[in-house]
Amino acid sequence: MRRILVLHGPNLNALGIREPEIYGHESLDDIERRIRQLGRDLDCEVECLQSQHEGVLIDALYGARSRSDGVLMNPGGLAHSSVPLRDAVAGAGVPVVEVHLSNPLAREPFRGPSLVSGAAVGVVQGFGAESYLLGLRALVGCLEREPRR
């Protein structure tokens, strides 16, 4: 059974409440239930972590090497501003797929490009909560093509 770590960055705890016209009406708990169900269907054990704090996410990425086969991560707004988070994705030692509920490229210019994307194996964005499920499928596909650690 593959082990997948799902990381949610700042403000994602407010899904369903914060700007539902952009992020949708599902809560983070609702989305995590869907991720876990798909994980079971794909024979994966899923661990989820949400943090408002960049350092917690960075620690989790470095810890993934010893306890996960891959990471599915929505860095939220940190995608556009955090070089340390990008470096942790690059140094995680396992494949990382970046996901976003909205399409940041179609949003405010101040968001700019994702710094994280260049270190991730791929990015899924703009499909609402479905972005997580598409990202999980992509990550599992990536892991199936790689030899197991």
Binding residues for substrate: 74, 80, 87, 101-102, 111
- Two structure tokens written together for 8: 């949610």
Residues of the binding site? 74, 80, 87, 101-102, 111
d(CA 89, CA 34): 24
Number of H helices, E strands in the chain: 5, 5
Q: Which amino acid is located at 93 in the chain?
A: G
Quick check: is 25 catalytic? no
Tokens linked to 34 = 């869907």
In contact, 143 and 102? CB cutoff 8 Å: no
122 CA to centre of own chain: 11
Tokens standing for 78?
């940190």
Reply yes or no on whether 132 is catalytic: no
Q: What is the DSSP letter of 119?
A: G
Q: Which of 8, 23, 25, 53 is catalytic?
A: 23
Query: Which of 8, 25, 100, 132 is flagged as catalytic?
Result: 100
Which sequence positions are flagged as catalytic?
Answer: 23, 100
